[in-house]
Structures are given as structure tokens and as C-alpha cells.
């Protein structure tokens, strides 16, 4: 019990979102769709030593042989 009020609120919010027309920044949308350069630089992994350690540790080529179907 008690679901009625929550469901009514969800319905009201959904209806507001569906029928509202927010102010859209069309120039920003155009820049985004045109593929302009982002204002931030994505971080790159430069230290491969840490990755190599885990790669060597978990990349055992024979590990899958235990699960192979035998006939």
C-alpha cells in the first residue's frame, strides 16, 4: 500500500517532461553535432608499466583449456 502517491508523482513528472519545451541552446547543439573540439582534454594513460603488470598476471593463455569441452 502507499504506492498511489508515488505513482501519481511519477506520472506528473513524466507528463511535465513530455510536454514541456525547455529553452534549447541551438548553437551549442550545432557545435556538438559538428564535432568541434571539446573544451577539455581527455586524460590519457601514459604509464604502461602498471597495465603490463596486470596484463602479465591475468593473461594466462592456458587458463581457458580447463573449460574446453572434451570429446
Bigger pLDDT: 53 or 31?
Answer: 31
- Write out pLDDT tens, residues 12-27: 999 999 998 888 889 9
Q: Kindly provide the b/e burial profile for residues 16-35, where b requires at least 16 CB atoms within 10 angstroms of the residue's own CB.
A: eeeeeeeeeeeeeeeeeeee
What is d(CA 5, CA 12) in angstroms, rounded to the nearest whole number?
11
Structural domain boundaries in the chain: 2-60
Q: Above 90 in pLDDT, residue 1?
A: no
Enter the pTM of the model: 0.31
Q: Tell me, what DSSP letter sits at residue 64?
A: G
Inter-residue contact 21 to 27 (CB < 8 Å): no
Amino acid at each position: 500500500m502507499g504506492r498511489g502517491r508515488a505513482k501519481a508523482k511519477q506520472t506528473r513528472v513524466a507528463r511535465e517532461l513530455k510536454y514541456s519545451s525547455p529553452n534549447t541552446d541551438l548553437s551549442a547543439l550545432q557545435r556538438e553535432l559538428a564535432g568541434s573540439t571539446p573544451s577539455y582534454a581527455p586524460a590519457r594513460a601514459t604509464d604502461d608499466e602498471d597495465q603490463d603488470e596486470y596484463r602479465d598476471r591475468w593473461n594466462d593463455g592456458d587458463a581457458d583449456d580447463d573449460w574446453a569441452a572434451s570429446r
